Amino acid sequence: MDFTNIAFYIFAALTVGSAGVMVFHRNVVYSAVGLLFAFFGVAGIYVLLAADFIAIVQILIYVGGILILLLFGVMLSQKLTKVDVRTESMQLVPAVVVVGGVLAVLLLTISSTPWKLAGSLEYEPTTKAIGRLMMTEYLIPFEIASVLLLAALIGAAYIARKN
Amino acid sequence: MLFNFANVLTFIVFGAVFVGINITLSRILQARNPHPVKLSTYECGELPEGDSWIQFNIRFYVIALIFLIFEVEIVFLFPWATVFKELGLFAFVEMMIFVFILLVGLAYVWVKGDLEWDKSTAVPDPALAPSAARQELTEAIAS
Amino acid sequence: MPVLNANLTLQAAQFANLPETLQTILFMVLGAAIFAGAAAVLALVGVYLERKISAHMQDRVGPMEVNTEIPVLKNIGHGWAQTLADALKLLIKEDIVPAEADKKLHLMAPFIVFAATLAGFSVLPFGPGLVASDLNVGLFYIIAISSFVVIGIILAGWSSNNKWSLLGAMRSAAQIVSFEIPASLALLVVIMAVGSLNLGDIVAAQAGGIHKWLIWWYPPFNILAFFVFFVASLAELNRAPFDMPEAESEIVAGFHTEYSGMKWAMFFLAEYANMFLVGVIIATLFLGGWTSPFGDFLNSGPFPVFWVTLKAFIVIFVQIWLRWTLPRVRVDQLMYTSWKVLTPFAFVAMVGAGIWMML
Amino acid sequence: MEVGLNHYLALAAILFSLGLFAVVTKKNAVTVLMGVELILNAANINFVAFARFIDTDLDGQIIAVFVIVTAAAAAAVALAIVLNLYERLKSINLDEADSLAG
């Protein structure tokens, strides 16, 4: 058993454990902390999958952007006393059945599909290659992304302002 | 590549361990002498009033929103900057279009005043406002 | 002495007999330990410098008394052991956690802040090959890892359950994220010029003396980028004149109002370690990093470490100088500076340098 | 046991289920959003894993970048809506937000 395997199990345990905390803790701020470690664990998984650039983007956007925004949302919209910050659950039993079913189907599909494996990607820096691809093959999605971002910026600013 | 990332992980873990050692050491050495007043929330020596919840200025939130969009833009700019020299004019023009579209967004929030910090909109207490007679007097003196 | 030598040889032999993976792990932990120790020592030096420099700027003398009886060190005087004494005081000081606080998160916050700060040190190059982690995405990584600090600050503010803590944390977070945009945009100029995110490559591109430093490339755009980055980094460090989050006349001590003893010391240490981190980053990106300003003169052996540390401390000196010279800005002025001054200028620098490179 | 594609896919499936569970059961709009982020992360793990083991080129990674970008834009708009909801109803519980009249 070599190191990447051990690292995989550590990061997988970290990710699933923190995601569990996020889902099952009753305090929203603890959920956010759970999410923080889940994002970090997923970044570790990306490194093991030879995606160094994606791992950094994961930290930068999810931890440095989305999570901060979520925390601001919690701080702004909730009374921060111990009682009110809780999040309640509803329809627990049907949810467990449905989600359990989905998980079972997914795992069954994964294990029964004969994947056509084609070796594995080398561990080498990906940033330049991604930049090159983005300027050539993925040029249209790249430019469309800028329009999407513009729309999101204007829309979000408009909705947040209107009160 | 994996070795370098493992090193980064070592630094993170070691940083946490370093804090843990220091705090534990301090725990052992310090005298602990709790008292209800000492453990009360600090409010400049006054008795704490209410809980810590205050209505935050919504501007914090709008700023974070705008920040998130620009951070995403930076994610695109970094890989572009590394290959900018070899790809030349074409990539430069493409990126200028991209940046320009986002600058439209910046101009929009600028013009709409989302980047301004909210001034207080509270109406001044009429009881504290200068009376009409006094105001007249002030103007008379000023003129 | 021979006994010691024999001992060392024996230990070296034993070390060589260990399995290779174990050796690697030992090396990595040792490296992290050295960097953590260096960060702590440099932070103490930074605190001492701040006190002395501020004192002399205000025509005082600052700490003068604390000294030891050890013969050589005794002659240094000038209260050089003051910060050591302070550190010892903080170690035995009672750690008061407010009864209303969320104890788990209150404890977790200093861990996150310090670990993230130390993690930033792993990619800093201190000489040819003298870098803990030669990451290819180094610069990008530093920006990313510093976002953990924001989360730690918000958690510290929230878990204290104190008005000033929470308000200070929100201000701090909003300020850091606002200035991250112009700082990152200013970095782009460097990356475009060098074509690499690796800090070692960036230093290598500037080798050969003071006239080769990146700050002089593509004038005036790189100098503009340098100033944008410097101002933005001041704000990201919550340093004066952008120390709104800790405006003690308004919100006591900001997010760490309810912290005391060693936990507070960890925030403080992280703050000064961050100052040094930014100093090294600025030195590496714009001021030639570990290369000598005089070409090949004094450019080998221990000198690279000396040069980069010297440059970093010059940057730190300017930071301290500004703190004791400029008044604090208001929140609205802060946001104005970030979004309406620095960000447009950073764009100008980026586009200008790009056009220059095209010509 | 050697870690292969199936391990990564199983991890992604578990993350997906946890996120789905949060989305289905939580009343709090912010927590629901957190669940959505988990689901997107699970999808991304799949993309990157396929890029490593089946495609062995960078297409999957680029798709992952675009997913992250879209997630950020979605989160910004969604949180703006949550904030607006709070301004109107003084609550961000989704079961109370059943009126379109505002």
Question: Which of residues C142 and D87 earns the better pLDDT score?
Answer: C142
Report angle CA C159, C164, C167 to the nearest 5 degrees: 80
Distance of residue B13 Cα from the nearest chain D Cα, in angstroms: 23
Domain boundaries, chain D: 27-90
| Residue of chain A nearest B72, judged by CA positions | A61
A63-78 residues labelled b (16+ CB within 10 A) or e (exposed): bbbbbbbbbbbbbbbb
**Residue C83 to chain B, least CA–CA distance (Å):** 16
Note whether residue A82 is domain-resident.
yes
Is the domain of C88 the same as that of C179? no
Distances (CA, A) of C322 to A112, C325, D12, D68: 65, 5, 50, 39
D100 has a pLDDT exceeding 60 = no
Whole-complex ipTM: 0.87
Question: Would residue A115 count as lying in a domain?
Answer: no
> Any CB–CB contact under 8 A between C115 and chain A?
no
Tell me the C-alpha distance between C174 and C177, whole Å: 5
Contact D24 A98 (CB under 8 A): yes
Q: Where are the beta strands (DSSP E) in chain A?
A: none
Residue C82 sits at the vertex; the CA angle it makes with C81 and C83, to the nearest 5 degrees, is 95
Polymer length in residues for chain C: 359
Name D93's bridge partners: D28
Distance CA C220, CA D82 (A): 45
How many domains does one find in chain A?
2
Query: Using one digit for the tens of pLDDT, what is the confidence trace for D16-53?
Result: 999 999 888 888 888 888 999 999 999 999 999 988 88
- Pairwise CA distance, residues D102 & D89, whole Å: 8
Q: Which residue has the tokens 């003893």?
A: C261
Smallest Cβ distance to D80: which of B65, B72, B75? B65
Q: Which helix (H) or strand (E) holds A14?
A: helix A3-24
Q: How far is it, in rounded angstroms, from Cα B58 to Cα C352?
A: 35
Distance CA C139, CA C137 (A): 6
The model's pTM is 0.88
CA distance D34 to chain A (A): 7
Q: Tens digit of pLDDT for each residue in C115-164?
A: 999 888 888 888 887 787 888 888 889 999 888 999 999 888 888 877 77
Last residue of a domain, one of A43, A61, A88: A88
Closest CA to C100 of B43, B86, A88, B123: B43
Residue C10, pLDDT score = 64
Same domain, yes or no, for C339 and C203? Answer: yes
Share of chain C above pLDDT 70, in %: 92
Domain ranges of chain B: 2-142
Whether chain D has a CB inside 8 Å of the CB on A76: the answer is yes
Among residues A67, A88, A109, which one ends one of the domains? A88
Chains D and C touch (3+ CB pairs under 8 A): no
Structural domain boundaries enclosing C66:
41-92
A128 shares a domain with A84:
no
Domain that holds residue A77: 1-88
Residues C51 and C197 both lie in one domain: no
Chain B residues with beta carbon closer than 8 angstroms to that of D76 = 65, 68-69
Going residue by residue through chain A, which has 163 residues, state the pLDDT in tens, using 9 for 90 and above. 577 888 899 999 999 999 999 988 888 888 899 999 999 999 999 998 888 899 999 999 998 889 998 888 887 766 554 445 556 666 778 888 888 999 999 999 888 888 877 776 677 788 888 888 888 888 888 889 889 999 998 888 888 776 5
ω into residue C128 within 30 of 0, thus cis?
A: no
Residue C105 token pair: 């998160």
Domain B2-142 has CATH 1.20.58.1610: yes
Q: Which chains touch B (3 or more CB pairs under 8 A)?
A: A, C, D
- Do residue C111 and residue B16 have CB atoms under 8 angstroms apart? yes
